[in-house]
Amino acid sequence: MEMIYQSRAWILAITILTVASYQAQAQPNTQAQLVLTLDKAWQQAETYNKEVQLQRQQVVISQELVKDRQTERLPRVVTRGEYTYLGALYGYEPKKWLKNPESVAVPPSPHVYSAALSTEWDLYTGGRIKNQIETQAVNAELEGQRLNLTRADIRVRVAQVYLDLKRNTVYRGLTESNIKESERRLRQIQSLYKNGVVLRSDVLRAELQTSRQQLLLTEINNNIILANQRLNILMGVPEDQLNVPAEEILPATAMLTGSYEDYLRQAQGQAPELRVAGLQTRLSQLRLESTEVIRRPQVGMFAGYSYNFPNRLTFPFVPQVYSFGEVGVRVSYNITGRYYDRHAERAAELGLERQKLAEEHVLDQKREEVKTAYVHFQETLERIRVAEQNIQQASENYRIVNSTYFNQLALLTDLLDADNQLLQSRFDLVSAQAQAATQYYQLQKALGTL
């Protein structure tokens, strides 16, 4: 029997050494750690995150397109130069040219030159240019709101990873403290075993408890490494940067200051999703208005001046340079436009009705989002209160069981269970605080204030 206990002891010793080796490999390097606040992480992400950069570039593109549409109001100036080499010109008598191929050649000048300058200016286009400019301006504003949405989404994701990193950091501190307590308890049990007070099985159970906690510490360290990488990628910084969260898990501002109706009114006034839906409805209205342009007359002014050689206004051509200028007004009206575009107009009307319905759907989704975040935030605050009570109860239970065990009035399994319950209750409090902070930032995003 003693040989069995010795073999188990060797197995446990090897296990502890292996765990310690993995723990040393997974332990982050504290020499290059950066103390990081959540606000600093948000600033880094808004500056270097690739999703934000892509959307910011899209905003700049849309603003440039607005300026491009505005240039349609300016006159268009065109210069033109031309050179042509003419072959011989032959004249034939009517109805005899097939029977009489020997016709008399009329020798024009073989060289033709021309240089011209012309301009056109749309005086009235039925609102087409105005519609295009306004459409692109609404598109630019829409891209700006989408940038706000991207920023808010990145902020929530950064906060989630930041809180995960902070939670695991606190987990590590609790686990390390618990390991020290387990090692102290193990030394006491070993001392009792040498004095013949407890059985060898108690020593083995205590050693097993310590090895499990060390494995848990290794897992927590690995989670910290992965959370660091995710956070660095979101911030757009080197992925091997080691970050140390500097703030409390639950910010002091995380509290409910109004009712659900108050938060809903706030969201309806400033949530980017609702603004995006409203802008998309405006775009549908502009598309409908653009179908009316085809039914309106178009008025434009034109002018031009040119030099030409030879003079081909006479026949035969005269080898001389001549010039002339012109200026006038052009009016056009598409007679068949009303018939041809009636289907496009009907499609635009249906698109506007559909977008109004989509805007109402977005508002329904916003109600659900605000309500969900509001209720879950209340739930997590209650969970924090319960977790704090559980810690007090678990601490008292551990104190009683620890005292009774070393007075030989309780089993070791009861003591280990009490120790696990105390550690888990502390984990539950940290987890509840992280969930409450996450729901708080989700609520702020839903309100459009993040």
Q: What is the pLDDT of residues 341-364, one digit of tens each?
A: 788 888 888 999 999 999 999 999
The percentage of the chain sitting over the pLDDT mark of 90, rounded to a whole number, equals 42
Confidence band (pLDDT; 50, 70, 90) for 136? very high
* Residue 101 per-residue DSSP state: -
What are the structure tokens assigned to 109, written together? 């000048």
**Cα radius of gyration (the chain):** 41
Mean pLDDT of the 205-212 span: 89
Residue 315 class from Cβ within 10 Å (0-12 exposed, 13-18 middle, 19+ buried)? exposed
| Euclidean distance between CA atoms 209 and 211, whole angstroms | 6
Q: Tell me if 80 sits within 8 A of 115, measured CB to CB.
A: yes
| Euclidean distance between CA atoms 207 and 213, whole angstroms | 10
3-state secondary structure of 245: strand
Lowest mean pLDDT among 29-33, 355-359, 376-380: 29-33
Look at residues 275, 309, 332 and tell me which one is the last residue of a structural domain. 332
Of 373, 390, 375, the C-alpha closest to 438 is 373
Count of structural domains within the chain? 2
Q: Identify the domain containing residue 348 by its residue range.
A: 2-74+125-297+333-447
| Euclidean distance between CA atoms 172 and 30, whole angstroms | 14
CA dihedral (252, 253, 258, 260) positive or negative: negative
Are residues 180 and 243 located together in one domain of the fold? Answer: yes
Are residues 206 and 141 located together in one domain of the fold? Answer: yes
The H or E element containing residue 220 is helix 200-235
Q: Tell me if 186 sits within 8 A of 207, measured CB to CB.
A: yes
> Which has the higher per-residue pLDDT, 91 or 286?
286
> Which has the higher per-residue pLDDT, 256 or 108?
256
Question: What is the average pLDDT value for the chain, to the nearest integer?
Answer: 84
The answer to whether residue 21 scores a pLDDT higher than 60 is no
Are residues 105 and 134 located together in one domain of the fold? Answer: no
Intra-chain end-to-end CA distance of the chain, in Å: 66
Q: What is the CATH number of the domain that holds 14?
A: 1.20.1600.10
Of 288, 177, 230, 320, the C-alpha closest to 49 is 230
Are residues 308 and 220 located together in one domain of the fold? Answer: no
DSSP letters for 300-361: EEEEEEEEEESBTTSSS-B---EEEEEEEEEEE--TTHHHHTHHHHHHHHHHHHHHHHHHHH
DSSP letters for 11-75: HHHHHHHHHHHHHHHHSPPGGGEEEE-HHHHHHHHHHH-HHHHHHHHHHHHHHHHHHHHHGGGS-
What are the structure tokens assigned to 230, written together? 């995710």
Are residues 226 and 327 located together in one domain of the fold? Answer: no
> Which has the higher per-residue pLDDT, 311 or 374?
374
| Euclidean distance between CA atoms 410 and 403, whole angstroms | 9
Are residues 407 and 440 located together in one domain of the fold? Answer: yes
The answer to whether residue 18 scores a pLDDT higher than 60 is no
Q: What is the CATH number of the domain that holds 80?
A: 2.20.200
Confidence band (pLDDT; 50, 70, 90) for 248? confident
The answer to whether residue 246 scores a pLDDT higher than 70 is yes
Unique residue bearing structure tokens 């969970």? 383
pLDDT in tens, 399-448: 999 888 887 777 888 888 899 899 999 999 999 999 999 999 999 999 88
**What's the pLDDT score for residue 85?**
83
| Euclidean distance between CA atoms 378 and 443, whole angstroms | 11
Are residues 310 and 427 located together in one domain of the fold? Answer: no
Confidence band (pLDDT; 50, 70, 90) for 259? confident
409-418 long-range contacts (CB < 8 A, ≥24 apart) are 412/189, 412/198, 412/202, 412/205, 412/206, 413/205, 415/185, 416/205, 416/206, 416/209, 418/394
Angle at 336 between CA 331 and CA 341, to 5 degrees: 110
**What's the pLDDT score for residue 98?**
55
Are residues 233 and 276 located together in one domain of the fold? Answer: yes
At residue 67, what are phi and psi to the nearest 5 degrees? -65, -35
Are residues 91 and 58 located together in one domain of the fold? Answer: no
User: Looking at the chain, how many residues does it have?
Assistant: 450
The answer to whether residue 22 scores a pLDDT higher than 50 is no
Are residues 95 and 182 located together in one domain of the fold? Answer: no
Lowest mean pLDDT among 2-16, 84-98, 241-255: 2-16
Are residues 164 and 306 located together in one domain of the fold? Answer: no
DSSP letters for 257-275: -S-HHHHHHHHHHH-HHHH
Are residues 112 and 222 located together in one domain of the fold? Answer: no
